[in-house]
Structure 1
Amino acid sequence: MEKAAGSDADEFLLGGLETLDPPRTSSPWMRPVEAAAALLLVVIIALLFIGVVSRYLFSLPIIWIDEVASLSFLWLAMLGAALAIDRSEHLRLTLFVNFLPERSRQRVDTLALLLVTLFLGAMLRPAVEYAMEEVFITSAALNIPMSWRASALPVGIALMLALSLFHALRDTSLVTVAACIAVIAVATAMLWLLMPGFRAIGNWNIPIFLVALVALFLVLGVPIAFCFGLGTLAFLTFSTSVPIFVMIGRIDEGMSSIVLLSVPIFVLLGCILDATGMGKAIVEFLASLLGHVRAGMSYVLLGSLFLVSGISGSKVSDMATVAPALFPEMKRRGHKPPEMIALLATGAAMAETVPPSIVLIVLGSAAGVSIAGLFTSGFAIAMVLLLVLAVLARWKARHEASEGVRRAPFETIKKTLLIAAPALVLPFIIRAAVGEGIATATEVSTIAVLYALVIGMVLYGGIGAGRLYAMLVETAALSGAILMILGAASAMAWALTQTGFAAQLVAGVQGLPGGWMTFMGVTILIFLVLGCVLEGLPAIVLMAPIMFPVARSLGIHDVHYAMVVVTAMNIGLMTPPIGIGFYIACKIGNVPPDQAMRAIWPYIGALLVGLVLIAAVPIFSTAFL
């Protein structure tokens, strides 16, 4: 579900193979919003860096920096979400819509846009009321009304509302728009008439509204954030007496954790990695070191994904950096393109737990798990998966054509090492700084971005001003799309927990035979499926508040459980026929998905073996904590 190379996420248009097209541009009237979003991102990075320097070098903490950064962050998220609407970059499942004829697909796309408009229209008044109530709350350090910050919500929602309505009217005929509005009106009226019945059946409304209705919106191609939002809105409106106003507070809370400040900064870091060629330098060094041994290029591919992921935090950036540098030589040695795609896709899944992983950062925020612990464990877990993939790659390479392959001269190895060294140390700096408690994930993300910019300018050719501005805007749009998902999923998770569903789940699971091992098996199945359909971030924010309390009640260590969840989810992401990561890998390698689909199953099997080991042996996850 990730965007173009160098962007993150997941994590991120689902199902479409246009994900690697050149980045879209905004409408001319959105240029001021672009500039404001880019400026806010620069301000956040500058403030956080000043705070780190002041605290660690001069022992003078600047107490107002967190408040200004938090205020700027919410504005960045909302303006970025509006840019994502304008640039059609909100994350959505297009797998089923793409099967429709062109004319029907246009009608469904219009219906999806109008459903987005419906949600935004319903949220606008509560957002205004929420901002007005924040006038009476004063910030601790700056002593200003919190409405300065909360006003981002109605402004962003109003901007998205206008843009979604404009695009719906622009892209199709008025007759189609009127027909779609009529469908929505009829469906809403039917739900309204059935409201007494819904309120009488209690928690059976959960599968109706929060499962079936959300799934319907996903199939229609409604962006994921708005699928969650619409499902929660319908659930609260038609089956409870809870006011819609509470959704705005939950959305704000889901988007505003100070830990999430690192998300746009690590997204930007992935862009810088791609633009400066730091990832390519790592690939060339590993190729000179290991390229001569049997299965050497497979080892290089896996090792490159491991190390490059530690810089970018982005699966798409990782694959787009590694594949072009290695695939020509792998083909020359007899590797079949479908096998290369299979190794690329599963290698990217393996590397997801290598810091800085945005999925781990979001998981730590959503589940209240130590990010330092997740980063420390993530390296070990990735090594387990790397080992099982390397063993399979070695067996697959038993007939590899290695005639004429020579060990690289020592001078070549030394030269590539010198070029790659500044890039090689970055993932270890990130891991050490967070793992040893020297800096938070947010602080280290800022340090990493500035380090990459400086090293890129000095050693790797630098980045032009125009390219840097485009990267800032792209980062803002992608971050806004990600954070909208987190906010909407947070509201949906809150609605689930308020029904008492989580407590019932705990009681039910505790009564299952097999104890924690049975629960681990259920967890693996759930997140394999969610990984196929939703990708990482929405699945985590939605399920973490429900699943982690159950795991704790069974005595499962938080970090151990987190590693199982993330690994299962990423295997699902790369599993055909639904996993979007698999199709992105096919696009990067220019291999038809039906050919690669036959080749990927042994590699998926190897990852599942690794996953079972990780789930069954907690020491893999907790040994270094």
Structure 2
Amino acid sequence: MTTAILFGSFALLLIIGVPIGIALGAASLLAIAYVPFLNFDLYALGLVSGINSFTLIAVVLFTLAGSLMAQGGISRRLIAVADRAFGRSPGDLGTVTIMACLFFAAISGTGSATVAAIGLAMIPALVERGYDRAYAGAMVASAGGLGVMIPPSVVMIVYAVAAGVSVTALFMAGIVPGIVIALTLIVYNITQRRKMAHKGEAVLHEGSVWAALNQAKLALLMPVVVLGGIYSGIVTPTESSAVAVVYALIVSVFVYKELPLRDIPKMMLDSALLVSAVLVIIGASVAFGRIIALEQIPTQLAEFVLSMTQSRYVVLLATIVLLLIVGTFLETLAAIVILTPVLLPITLELGIDPVHFGIVMIVALAIGFVTPPLGANLFMAAQVGQIPFDKIARRIFPWVVTMVVALLIIAFVPWLSLVLPQVFLDYGG
């Protein structure tokens, strides 16, 4: 009965439009009130302990760093590099757009920031090049999902906390799968452009690739500084987020001189407000997860699933289907903190590596970024590209199918996720 109250009330609150963090908290309080031996201290302790994590500081700082970089001229320089390098390749400006999203993802850590920064510049350019506006918006929304797949990723940090795995290993594990997703999107765009008998055209920016690289050298050095510090052991992922903020601030304000100092307090406030909603979800989910554990739901679910099949491939495929469905209506961070304690024990029983499963989970839920009705990236792309939401939603389906194909490749070829941690970190699972 406790389980029914917990999940039933949570679902009902979501249906009537209650914010996720409040819905998690209210459902937890109702379940606690029903169980005689529990008291409301469990919720208060869970709320505090959920956000009392040194690692979660990185979520705040990487969000601020992404905002600084998006408004400090870094995204424009990254687009110029991508344009000069890939502007005459098959798929022309579409390839440029996806590669620009890949570059920016490596320094932003969030999908929405990637869509906003790249979409503002590239959607009008794509339309001028002959792309349908809704198609261009769908492309940017899809490629923007790379923001959570490529390290440093805020979503990866949250999963690492929830699953108790190494943030560094997870960051390194996301590199190859992120590139696989990007290449898959590029191939799809190329096939579509060839159907329209369209060949590469002149690049938008004049000059050589080397000139663009020289102008963007500090922007391109950012992931080297941040990720290099993590992988070399010089700084922790949390400390690297502080390095990212300082680096972005210096480059944007004092080198590129495109970010006025007077704008920084507002950016800090906006980042704090954005992250505060995430932290409320994480804190509320801890009490929610503790009730799940007390009811032994993960253990019972694992026993049920394993009694049905011992095939890791069947279980992994069923899990992917579940995550794709959940991602369409539940925010990614909330889905991770809720579902990780439930699904991880099942996958561990079947010998699936937790880091590999984390990458699969993150990619599957990131596809929800571009899938209605939630579709956070879709809303962002529609806003920055001035596209009616219903039109961009109709053009997103082929892109979602393309990403699902890439997801299946990543899921059933664990080597793609584990090769870099195994080689450089001596990771053994």
The alignment's TM-score, normalised by the length of structure 1, stands at 0.65
CA distance in 2, matches of 1:240, 1:372: 42
CA distance in 1, matches of 2:204, 2:30: 63
Q: 1:366 aligns with which of 162, 177, 186?
A: 162
CA distance in 1, matches of 2:263, 2:257: 13
Correspondence for 1:133: none
Task: Answer whether contact 1:333 1:402 (CA < 8 A) is retained.
Answer: no
Q: Secondary structure in 1 aligned to 2:382?
A: helix
Judged with a 3 Å threshold, the aligned counterparts in structure 2 of structure 1 residues 335 and 553 are, in CA distance, closer, same or farther, namely same
For these two proteins, the number of residue pairs brought into alignment is 420
Report whether the alignment pairs 1:494 with 2:286: no
CA distance in 2, matches of 1:616, 1:288: 35
Task: Answer whether contact 2:106 2:152 (CA < 8 A) is retained.
Answer: yes
Report whether the alignment pairs 1:584 with 2:372: no
Correspondence for 1:446: 242
**Structure 1 residue 458 displacement after superposition:** 2.8
Judged with a 3 Å threshold, the aligned counterparts in structure 2 of structure 1 residues 330 and 420 are, in CA distance, closer, same or farther, namely same
Alignment of 1:57-72 (within 5 A): none
Counterpart code for 2:2: N
Alignment of 1:435-474 (within 5 A): 435-474=231-270
Correspondence for 2:128: 332
Q: Secondary structure in 1 aligned to 2:81?
A: helix
Alignment of 1:183-202 (within 5 A): none
- Spell out, residue by residue over 1:522-568, the C-alpha distance to the aligned partner (whole angstroms, 9 max, x if none): 21122112212221111111111221122111100111100110011
Counterpart code for 2:57: L
Report whether the alignment pairs 1:263 with 2:59: yes
Q: Secondary structure in 2 aligned to 1:461?
A: coil
**Structure 1 residue 394 displacement after superposition:** 0.7
Correspondence for 1:84: none
Q: 1:481 aligns with which of 269, 272, 277?
A: 277
CA distance in 2, matches of 1:211, 1:558: 25
Counterpart code for 1:337: R
Correspondence for 1:135: none
Counterpart code for 2:265: Y
Correspondence for 1:609: 405
**Structure 1 residue 581 displacement after superposition:** 2.6
CA distance in 2, matches of 1:588, 1:283: 16
Correspondence for 2:424: none
**Structure 1 residue 601 displacement after superposition:** 1.3
Correspondence for 1:596: 392
Q: Secondary structure in 1 aligned to 2:396?
A: helix
Correspondence for 1:223: 19
Task: Answer whether contact 2:123 2:137 (CA < 8 A) is retained.
Answer: no
Counterpart code for 2:210: K
CA distance in 1, matches of 2:402, 2:134: 17
Counterpart code for 2:115: M
- By relative contact order (CA 8 Å, sep 6+), the higher-ranking structure is 2
CA distance in 1, matches of 2:260, 2:315: 52
Judged with a 3 Å threshold, the aligned counterparts in structure 2 of structure 1 residues 477 and 617 are, in CA distance, closer, same or farther, namely same
Where do 5+ consecutive residues of structure 2 fail to align?
Answer: 422-429
Q: 1:381 aligns with which of 144, 153, 177?
A: 177
Counterpart code for 1:576: P
- Spell out, residue by residue over 1:493-549, the C-alpha distance to the aligned partner (whole angstroms, 9 max, x if none): 111011111111111122222521121122112211221222111111111122112
Task: Answer whether contact 1:373 1:559 (CA < 8 A) is retained.
Answer: yes
Judged with a 3 Å threshold, the aligned counterparts in structure 2 of structure 1 residues 409 and 595 are, in CA distance, closer, same or farther, namely closer
Task: Answer whether contact 2:80 2:205 (CA < 8 A) is retained.
Answer: no
Q: Percent identity?
A: 28
Q: Secondary structure in 1 aligned to 2:217?
A: helix
Report whether the alignment pairs 1:291 with 2:92: no
When the two chains are superposed, the root-mean-square deviation of aligned CA atoms in Å is 1.8
Report whether the alignment pairs 1:210 with 2:9: no
CA distance in 2, matches of 1:286, 1:459: 21
- Spell out, residue by residue over 1:326-348, the C-alpha distance to the aligned partner (whole angstroms, 9 max, x if none): 22332222211121112111111
Counterpart code for 1:468: I
**Structure 1 residue 220 displacement after superposition:** 2.5
The alignment's TM-score, normalised by the length of structure 2, stands at 0.93
Task: Answer whether contact 1:278 1:423 (CA < 8 A) is retained.
Answer: yes
CA distance in 2, matches of 1:409, 1:594: 33
Task: Answer whether contact 1:295 1:400 (CA < 8 A) is retained.
Answer: no
CA distance in 2, matches of 1:508, 1:435: 39
Moved over 6 A (4+): none
CA distance in 2, matches of 1:618, 1:451: 34
CA distance in 2, matches of 1:314, 1:395: 28
Counterpart code for 2:330: L
Task: Answer whether contact 1:372 1:437 (CA < 8 A) is retained.
Answer: no
Task: Answer whether contact 1:294 1:400 (CA < 8 A) is retained.
Answer: no
Correspondence for 1:526: 322
**Structure 1 residue 241 displacement after superposition:** 2.6
Q: Return the index of the structure with the highest Cα Rg.
A: 1
Correspondence for 1:419: 215
Counterpart code for 1:295: G
Report whether the alignment pairs 1:507 with 2:303: yes
**Structure 1 residue 356 displacement after superposition:** 1.3
Task: Answer whether contact 1:489 1:541 (CA < 8 A) is retained.
Answer: yes
Task: Answer whether contact 2:64 2:245 (CA < 8 A) is retained.
Answer: yes
Q: 1:245 aligns with which of 41, 44, 60?
A: 41
Judged with a 3 Å threshold, the aligned counterparts in structure 2 of structure 1 residues 245 and 409 are, in CA distance, closer, same or farther, namely closer
Alignment of 1:9-408 (within 5 A): 204-206=1-3, 208-398=4-194, 399=196, 401-402=198-199, 405-406=201-202
**Structure 1 residue 408 displacement after superposition:** 7.7
**Structure 1 residue 219 displacement after superposition:** 2.4
Q: Secondary structure in 1 aligned to 2:90?
A: coil
Correspondence for 2:340: 544
**Structure 1 residue 582 displacement after superposition:** 2.0
Q: 2:365 aligns with which of 569, 573, 598?
A: 569
Task: Answer whether contact 1:560 1:621 (CA < 8 A) is retained.
Answer: yes
**Structure 1 residue 245 displacement after superposition:** 0.6
CA distance in 2, matches of 1:432, 1:466: 31
- Spell out, residue by residue over 1:133-180, the C-alpha distance to the aligned partner (whole angstroms, 9 max, x if none): xxxxxxxxxxxxxxxxxxxxxxxxxxxxxxxxxxxxxxxxxxxxxxxx
Counterpart code for 1:298: G
